[in-house]
């Protein structure tokens, strides 16, 4: 497996890496697919990850890495700077062939995420006493990502439109490394929010299939949904499993394999189950897997691509039950290496994961950190429930009735009209402490469902935390939301809400506890 990887890396390096002395002496770039452009920040991030990963094979890996980094810093996201001075630590997302700006000074979140992760890995690999202080540069970029590309509730923006989120920006292992490097628990909030959005896309909009769209819109509401098009990459395929979301099995599996966080095994398994079934239709032939799907599972385009087959290969590593499928995927990728932009980098990085060569600067693969499943409460630091009367044994005492709500048989019921309840909690929370909101919920007829969540605001009314989970099950299902209490919350509540529909919502045993 290592031999296959090093052959692939050598061929990729010879094809993709170009001198960029026109930008900075000793600079390098990862050549974009359209030669009228030199590079995009996404490709620079891929190249930096590959350089540090293959340092044991390539004696010039650090020289390559430093040359790529020099170009990254020489071409900052200058349009961001007037709005956020940290923009100087983000990269202009695209460069013309002559090295000048072709991205109008804006950044692409995914490129900067990989750049920050690669810098943390470089610090672990080589230390930070050379040409670049890798650790400090990583922290600079991480801070800029937080201030420019993230919403306070942990939702990624990644675009000029703040309420549009790209699912392939959910780089969970990167977020975990960012938290470890900076000590900022915000990145745990980002992981929780990414899970919430991913789970909603799969269970509400791809039920029984498990695919994800390229983009999600309306992330500022209680009902985020797949993009209708022309709001993310500005094409009409943003609601499909397309050329962004195809990376998701690789991104999510690469975290689960090191962290053991079973939420990401669940999200990945839904996708892998679907693709394994696609191959099974023709006797297990992985070339039956196409390069574009609706969320209902309809294949839109055929053909084989390393950008699809590589991530699915990495994703299939999450469980031994996929072993024959995984072997077929590995064999196809090993026999069809590509050096073309996007396919080549994604395929090679996915094979690094599948071969056991992926690592984190903060987590050892030999000693995974086990995280609780999303539906099981973590061990509380203080078992006391912050909420009063969370089991509704005293009717609605302690709860504000927002309409159409009553207690029946010691459980909250919200009728067919819109309504719900809320309980003020902001004064009971300790800033910087991590909390988990849990509950049992179901609805009595097929409908949109019931929302259980938390919302916290500052004195100006700005939202600091806003998370909710939609339950559409006809039988009691667990709710689990984790968040970190922010500084400056002056109002806010835990809540239950149901929009008007044909169902009655039943909610019980709501608990809000501090967790380890």
Range of the domain at 23: 1-149
What total number of domains does the chain contain? 3
> Among this protein's residues, is 42 annotated catalytic?
yes
Q: Which of 149, 170, 195 is the last residue of a domain?
A: 149
Confidence of residue 121 (pLDDT cuts 50, 70, 90): very high
Is a pLDDT exceeding 80 seen at residue 380? no
Rg from Cα positions in the chain:
23
Residues 352, 407 within the same domain: no
| Predicted local confidence at residue 448, as pLDDT | 87
Same domain, 419 and 358: no
- The average pLDDT across 381-385 equals 60
Of 149, 169, 199, which residue is a domain's last?
A: 149
Give the CATH number for residue 502: 2.60.120.260
Interval 14-34 mean pLDDT = 97
**pLDDT class of 368 with cuts at 50, 70, 90:** very low
Annotate 91-111 with b (16+ C-beta within 10 A) or e (fewer): bbbbbebebebbbebbbbbbb
Q: What's the pLDDT at 365?
A: 35
pLDDT for position 211: 98
**The two three-digit tokens of residue 63, written as one number:** 């020289």
**Pairwise CA distance, residues 407 & 394, whole Å:** 9
Span of 163-177, 221-235, 375-389 with lowest mean pLDDT: 375-389
In a domain, residue 371? The reply is no
Residue 160's pLDDT is: 62
Length reported for the chain: 516
Among 114, 149, 184, which residue terminates a domain? 149
Whether 369 maps to a domain, the answer reads no
Residue 259 and residue 128 in one domain: no
pLDDT of 373 over the 80 cut: no
420 and 496 co-located in one domain: yes
Q: Are residues 343 and 263 in the same domain?
A: yes
By mean pLDDT, which of 35-49, 162-176, 343-357, 396-410 is the weakest?
A: 396-410
For the residues 7-27, what does the mean pLDDT come to? 97
- 195-219: per-residue pLDDT in tens? 999 999 999 999 999 999 999 999 9
Is 370 within the bounds of a domain?
no
Q: Is 104 a catalytic residue?
A: no
Q: Has residue 254 got a pLDDT over 80?
A: yes
Mean pLDDT of 89-96: 98
473 falls in which pLDDT band (50, 70, 90)? confident
Higher confidence at residue 287 or residue 367?
A: 287
Which element (helix H / strand E) includes 205?
A: none
Residue 376, pLDDT > 60, answer: no
Does residue 477 or residue 259 have the better pLDDT?
A: 259
Summarised one tens digit per residue, pLDDT across range 265-281 is 999 999 999 999 999 99
Using DSSP's 3-state secondary structure scheme, residue 499 falls into coil
Whether residue 372 lies inside any domain: the answer is no
Sheet with strand 491-498: strands edge to edge? 400-401, 419-424, 491-498, 450-457, 463-471
The share of the chain scoring above pLDDT 90, in percent, equals 81
Helices assigned H by DSSP within 17-104: 41-53, 61-74
Confidence of residue 374 (pLDDT cuts 50, 70, 90): very low
**Sign of the dihedral through C-alpha 227, 230, 234, 238:** positive
pLDDT of 366 > 50? The answer is no
Q: What pLDDT was estimated at residue 207?
A: 97
**283 contacts: CB under 8 Å, gap ≥ 6:** none
Give the relative orientation of helices 41-53 and 61-74 as an angle to the nearest 10 degrees.
160
Q: Are residues 5 and 134 in the same domain?
A: yes
Catalytic residue among 42, 58, 239, 466, which? 42
Provide the pLDDT for residue 472. Answer: 87
pLDDT, position 516:
61
What's the confidence (pLDDT) of residue 476? 84
Same domain, yes or no: 285 and 166: yes
The CATH number of residue 253's host domain is 1.50.10.10
d(Cα 295, Cα 319) in Å, to the nearest integer? 23
Asked whether residue 142 falls in the same domain as residue 161, the answer is no
Predicted confidence band at 159 (pLDDT cuts at 50, 70, 90)? low
> Same domain for 286 and 407?
no
- Please report which confidence band the pLDDT of residue 371 belongs to, taking 50, 70 and 90 as the band edges: very low
Mean of per-residue pLDDT scores for the chain:
92
Which listed residue (58, 92, 110, 153) is catalytic?
110
Domain shared by 85 and 132, yes or no: yes
Q: What is the mean pLDDT of residues 461-476?
A: 86
pLDDT number for residue 375: 37
Rounded to whole angstroms, the Cα distance separating 199 from 210 reads 9
Both 69 and 27 in one domain: the answer is: yes
**Any residues with CB less than 8 A from the CB of 197 and at least 6 apart, and which?**
155, 165, 167, 170, 216, 219, 224
């Amino acid at each position: 497996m290592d031999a296959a990887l090093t052959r692939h890396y050598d061929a990729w390096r010879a094809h993709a890496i170009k001198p960029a002395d026109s930008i900075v002496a000793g600079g390098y770039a990862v050549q974009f697919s359209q030669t009228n452009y030199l590079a995009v920040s996404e490709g620079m991030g891929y190249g930096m990850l590959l350089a540090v990963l293959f340092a044991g094979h390539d004696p010039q890996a650090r020289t390559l890495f430093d040359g790529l980094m020099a170009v990254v810093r020489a071409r900052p996201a200058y349009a961001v700077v007037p709005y956020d001075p940290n923009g100087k630590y983000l990269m202009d997302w695209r460069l013309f062939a002559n090295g000048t700006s072709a991205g109008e000074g804006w950044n692409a979140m995914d490129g900067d995420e990989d750049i920050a992760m690669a810098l943390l890995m470089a610090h672990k690999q080589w230390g930070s006493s050379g040409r670049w202080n890798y650790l400090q540069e990583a922290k600079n970029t991480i801070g800029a990502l937080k201030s420019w590309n993230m919403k306070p509730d942990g939702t990624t923006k990644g675009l000029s439109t703040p309420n549009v989120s790209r699912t392939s920006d959910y780089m969970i292992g990167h977020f975990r490394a960012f938290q470890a490097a900076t000590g900022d628990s915000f990145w745990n909030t980002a992981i929780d929010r990414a899970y919430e959005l991913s789970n909603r896309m799969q269970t509400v909009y791809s039920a029984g299939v498990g695919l994800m769209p390229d983009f999600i819109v309306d992330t500022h509401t209680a009902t985020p949904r797949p993009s209708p098009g022309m709001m993310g990459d500005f094409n009409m395929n943003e609601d499909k499993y397309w050329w962004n979301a195809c990376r998701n099995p690789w991104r999510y599996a690469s975290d689960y394999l090191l962290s053991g966080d079973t939420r990401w095994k669940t999200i990945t398994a839904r996708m892998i189950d679907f693709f394994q079934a696609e191959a099974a239709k023709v006797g297990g032939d992985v070339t039956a897997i196409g390069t574009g799907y609706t969320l209902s599972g309809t294949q839109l385009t055929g053909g084989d691509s390393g950008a699809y087959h590589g991530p699915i290969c990495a994703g299939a590593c999450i469980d031994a039950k996929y072993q024959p499928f995984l072997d077929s995927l590995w064999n196809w990728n090993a026999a069809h290496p590509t050096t073309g932009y996007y396919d080549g980098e994604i395929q090679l990085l996915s094979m690094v994961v599948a071969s056991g060569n992926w690592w984190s600067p903060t987590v050892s693969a030999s000693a995974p950190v086990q995280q609780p499943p999303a539906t099981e409460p973590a061990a509380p630091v203080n078992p006391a429930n912050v909420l009063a009367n969370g089991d509704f044994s005293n009717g609605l005492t302690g709860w504000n009735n927002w309409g159409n709500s009553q207690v029946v048989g010691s459980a909250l019921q919200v009728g067919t009209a819109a309504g719900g309840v809320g309980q003020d909690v902001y004064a009971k929370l300790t800033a910087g402490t991590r909390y988990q909101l849990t509950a049992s919920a179901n609805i009595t007829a097929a409908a949109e469902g019931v929302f259980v969540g938390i919302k916290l605001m500052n004195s100006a009314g700005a939202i600091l935390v806003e998370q909710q989970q939609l339950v559409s099950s006809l039988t009691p299902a667990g709710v689990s939301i984790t968040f970190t209490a922010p500084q400056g919350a002056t109002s806010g509540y835990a809540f239950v809400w149901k929009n008007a529909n044909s169902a009655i919502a039943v909610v019980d045993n709501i608990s809000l506890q501090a967790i380890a």
